[in-house]
Amino acid sequence: MDRQVTREEVPSYEIVEEKIKEIDQSIIIIRIFYIFMHIAYKFQLIKNDKLCTVEIPRKMLDGIKKGNAFFEDELTSLINSSLQHTDCWNKV
């Protein structure tokens, strides 16, 4: 089972939150899990009555924390493509 983590445990959490808010102010991060098998964080997002899950590799978030602009661009692209994809959003 994936372990639920707090925002303080996620590297570069503020940047992830900022990127999501740039796309849509009404999206809320409700839970974050650490996926040990994939070495990634799974962000569960909600908007109105729909849920979307976005997996972000830990390596990417650690790179952003160290100031790597390449990883920040990759994060923007990953979040954009995930949130724009209609299959991501499931009714809850």
pLDDT digits (tens, 9 = 90+) for 18-32: 999 999 999 999 999
pLDDT at 1 over 90: no
* pLDDT greater than 80 at residue 50: yes
Alpha helices in 1-92 (DSSP H): 13-23, 58-65, 69-84
Q: How far is CA 9 from CA 4, 53, 58, 91, in A?
A: 10, 18, 11, 28
Query: Number of structural domains, the chain?
Result: 1
Q: Rounded mean pLDDT of 39-62? A: 96
- Range of the structural domain that residue 77 is part of: 3-91
86 pLDDT tier (thresholds 50, 70, 90): confident
Task: Count CA atoms closer than 13 A to 8's CA, side-chain side.
Answer: 0
Provide the token pair at 30: 């409700």
Task: Report the sign of the C-alpha dihedral through residues 79, 40, 90, 28, in that order.
Answer: negative
Yes or no: say if 86 and 79 are a contact pair by the CB < 8 Å rule.
Answer: no
Q: State the pTM of this model.
A: 0.92
